[in-house]
Amino acid sequence: MPSALTATELRSTGIEHGLDSIGFAKVEAFTSTKNHLVERKKQGLHGGMQFTYRNPERSTDPSRTLEGAQTLVVGARSYWRKRPEAENSQEPVGRVALYALEDHYQQLRNGLEAIVQILDHHGFNSRILIDDNALVDREAAYRAGIGWYGKNTNLLLPDRGSWFVLGSVITNANFPPDIPNNGSCGTCERCIPACPTQAITAPGVLDANRCLAWLLQSEGQFPIEFREALGDRIYGCDDCQISCPPNRREERMQENFVSESFSAPVLIHEMLEMSDEELMQKYGRWYIPRRDPRYLRRNALVVLGNTSRASSRRARKILEQYLESDDNMIRSHAVWAAKRLKFEGLLEKLKDDPSPLVQEELHRKVTGNK
Ligand code: B12
């Protein structure tokens, strides 16, 4: 029979296995978060997102996930790394949010896995939940004393900030809960004007309909009013974290940490020249609506319009091909990009295009890029 298991033992195991912070929370309903989810859904602030919004009763009641569950052991793992310089500055490069440049979730999982093994060894049942629709991770972390909510809605670790991914082990073992951290942004509101689309509509409230990170992951047309604001972002957006002063500490701490597993820069021309198979092989780890590569193409066309040059023969050739696509959504975004890069001559052929989406783009006034 193994000796009695302590929280200290689990904590040091998690830290040894790459976690930066570990906390314990009681398994109980997250009532305030359920109300936030329901209320925001009612107001349409979820922008059609499913995830934890699909079933707020479930995502805020961890006891539904594991029979007899008593404790959430929550872990955080730092992911800030110095961004590598783009190798070929002649070509437009798509910006990927830091959390997606490496597989930090796997590293977080490894740390939580080590905790599960010990629990298992002591005869307890447990399950790992990371980015899972069954649990609101930030609230679990808040309750476990890992950190506090910022006005940009992110969870900040004391003295380190928000460049952390979060995950939990839910278990039927009983540990004393930690005390929630009472930190706050004070009077700082830098993230609010820093958001390129004003998606933070009130301190701690995000309107997903305006958040570029969500718009890149949603179906349908990329909203016209946010296309220029998308700039070079091809996956995720970090602006509300980049503008956040407490995050400077973590950046200083990790400054000399050279990552060896950063994914290669996303070259936009090359991306638009790939086959569906190549696209999914290279970017399939991202969240892509319906796992359909046409959304990667849609996003890349907007980024192309924002970042390529009117003098680029490669961009012109790419657009010639996309303007012949049999997909209305793709053709219409190619029209926008062609206008933005002042390739109006390419659009002549489309004047009788039967698609209302394409016609709308043809008649739209688009500001030229550069
Ligand atoms: C849906 C989702 C998104 C959506 C919506 C995000 C959102 N803010 O709701 C989109 C696609 C936009 C998104 C973007 C990002 N996400 Co996300 N996302 C999720 C997911 C799947 C669910 C989040 C959720 O349930 N939100 C519901 C609402 C109710 O929660 P909330 O916004 O945190 O609301 C709290 C605050 O409003 C607070 N509150 C209420 N009133 C007030 C008032 C004040 C003054 C304050 C300060 C707070 C406050 O209470 C609420 C909770 O009860 C989680 C994974 C998971 N399973 O939990 C990851 C998760 C939240 N995302 C994460 C990350 C890393 C990101 C990005 C940084 C990625 C990127 N670079 O593009 C951005 C950050 C954008 C942002 N500011 O949120 C991390 C967050 C880590 C952290 N340290 O906070 C998570 C936890 C994933 C993970 N496992 O690590 N995400």
Atom 42, ligand 1: which residue's CA is nearest? 204
Alpha-carbon span 254 to 248, nearest angstrom: 10
- The rounded Å distance from CA 345 to ligand 1 centre is 44
* Residue 181 near residue 148 (C-beta atoms within 8 A): yes
78 lines ligand 1 (CB under 6 A): no
214 lines ligand 1 (CB under 6 A): yes
Alpha-carbon span 334 to 357, nearest angstrom: 11
Q: What are the backbone dihedrals phi and psi of residue 357, each rounded to the nearest 5 degrees, phi first? A: -65, -45
212 lines ligand 1 (CB under 6 A): no
Name the residue of 137, 212, 218, 243 to mutate for ligand 1: max ligand atoms within 8 A of Cβ.
137
- Burial of 272: CB neighbours in 10 Å, binned 0-12, 13-18, 19+: buried
* Residue 65 near residue 135 (C-beta atoms within 8 A): yes
Give the atom of ligand 1 at the shortest distance from the alpha carbon of 32. 53
Atom 68, ligand 1: which residue's CA is nearest? 238
pLDDT at 353: 98
pLDDT at 89: 64
149 lines ligand 1 (CB under 6 A): yes
- Torsion angle of alpha carbons 51, 31, 74, 165, nearest 10°? 40
Q: What is the pTM of this model?
A: 0.96
N- to C-terminal Cα separation, the chain: 71
Alpha-carbon span 161 to 154, nearest angstrom: 9
Contacts of 81 (CB under 8 A, 6+ apart): 98, 101, 102, 254, 257, 259, 262
Atom 53, ligand 1: which residue's CA is nearest? 33
Atom 37, ligand 1: which residue's CA is nearest? 204
Atom 51, ligand 1: which residue's CA is nearest? 33
Alpha-carbon span 337 to 300, nearest angstrom: 10
* Residue 161 near residue 244 (C-beta atoms within 8 A): yes
Write out the two tokens for 20. Answer: 């930066």
56 lines ligand 1 (CB under 6 A): no
pLDDT at 2: 60
pLDDT at 87: 65
User: Domain residue spans in the chain?
Assistant: 7-80+101-171, 265-370
213 lines ligand 1 (CB under 6 A): yes
Alpha-carbon span 192 to 188, nearest angstrom: 9
The one-letter code for the residue type at 66 is L
Give the atom of ligand 1 at the shortest distance from the alpha carbon of 142. 52
77 lines ligand 1 (CB under 6 A): no
Question: Three-class SS string for the chain?
Answer: CCCCCCHHHHHHHHHHCCCCEEEEEECCCCHHHHHHHHHHHHCCCCCCCCHHHCCHHHHCCHHHCCCCCCEEEEEEEECCCCCCCCCCCCCCEEEECHHHCCCHHHHHHHHHHHHHHHHHHCCCCEEEECCCCCCCHHHHHHHCCCCEECCCCCEEECCCECCEEEEEEEECCCCCCCCCCCCCCCCCCCHHHHCCCCCEEECCEECCCCCHHHHCCCCCCCCHHHHHHHCCEEECCCHHHHCCCCHHHHHHHCCCCCCCCCCCCEEHHHHHHCCHHHHHHHHCCCCCHHHCCHHHHHHHHHHHHHHCCCCCHHHHHHHHHHCCCCCHHHHHHHHHHHHHCCCHHHHHHHCCCCCHHHHHHHHCCCCCCC
Per-residue pLDDT of the chain (370 residues; tens, 9 = 90+): 566 899 999 999 999 999 999 999 999 999 999 999 999 999 999 999 999 999 999 999 999 999 999 999 999 999 998 887 766 667 899 999 999 999 999 999 999 999 999 999 999 999 999 999 999 999 999 999 999 999 999 999 999 999 999 999 999 999 999 999 999 999 999 999 999 999 999 999 999 999 999 999 999 999 999 999 999 999 999 999 999 999 999 899 888 877 777 888 999 999 999 999 999 999 999 999 999 999 999 999 999 999 998 889 999 999 999 999 999 999 999 999 999 999 999 999 999 999 999 999 999 999 998 7
51 lines ligand 1 (CB under 6 A): yes
CATH topology of domain 7-80+101-171: NADH Oxidase (3.40.109)
92 lines ligand 1 (CB under 6 A): no
